[in-house]
């Protein structure tokens, strides 16, 4: 199971729309399948190359795996358990206070937007987006 952004939501953010309790808003994905361990060094290296390329795409300057000494990379790869997960089924959940009235959800989103935590701010943005689709 993989967790995305998550945030504690205080009842104070919902305003005066009746009784309420604290909650936790979150995103999660649960992939189902039979994992396969990648133990061939070439397979692990190819996976790392794809991972680095995808995550360095917006960076300036871009870091490259092949900029490192081969013996160093080989030592580091021994500490990695690489795997593939061919998907049989995928379940996702987005709990974003959908059970609350729109003005309550937007009030809670405003409260989260003022947080120092990036997850709180992302959940606030997703709560607003969900409210606008209704």
- Of residues 130 and 83, more confidence is placed in 83
Q: Which of 53-57, 109-113, 124-128 has the lowest mean pLDDT?
A: 53-57
pLDDT surpasses 70 at 134: no
Contact call for residues 72 and 5 (beta carbons, < 8 A) = no
Q: Which parts of 2-117 fold into alpha helices (H)?
A: 41-55, 70-77, 102-113
CA–CA dist 120, 117 (Å, integer): 5
Q: What is the CB-side half-sphere exposure of residue 133 using CA atoms within 13 A? A: 8
Better pLDDT: 60 or 37: 37
Question: What are the structural domains, with CATH classification, of the chain?
Answer: 1-33+85-134 (2.30.110.10), 35-84 (no CATH)
Each residue of 61-112: pLDDT tens digit? 888 899 999 999 999 999 999 999 999 999 999 999 998 888 899 999 999 9
> So what's the pLDDT on residue 130?
85
Cα–Cα distance for residue pair 104/93, rounded to 1 Å: 21
Does residue 6 register a pLDDT over 80?
A: yes
| pLDDT tens, residue by residue, 9-54 | 999 988 876 788 899 999 999 999 999 999 999 999 999 999 999 9
Collapse the DSSP code of 97 into the 3-class scheme (helix H, G, I; strand E, B; otherwise coil) and give the result.
Answer: coil
> What is the value of pTM for the model shown?
0.71
37 has which bridge partners? 83
């Amino acid at each position: 199971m993989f967790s995305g952004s998550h945030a504690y939501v205080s009842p104070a953010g919902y305003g005066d729309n009746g009784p309420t309790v604290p909650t936790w808003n979150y995103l999660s994905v649960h992939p189902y399948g039979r994992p396969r361990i990648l133990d061939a060094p070439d397979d692990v290296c190819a996976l790392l190359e794809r991972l680095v390329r995808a995550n360095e795409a917006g960076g300036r300057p871009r870091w490259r795996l092949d900029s490192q000494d081969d013996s160093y990379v080989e030592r580091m790869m021994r500490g990695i358990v690489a795997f593939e997960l061919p998907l049989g089924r995928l379940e996702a959940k987005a709990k974003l206070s959908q059970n609350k009235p729109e003005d309550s959800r937007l009030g809670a989103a405003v409260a989260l937007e003022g947080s120092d935590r990036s997850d709180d701010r992302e959940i606030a943005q997703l709560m607003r987006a969900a409210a606008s689709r209704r």
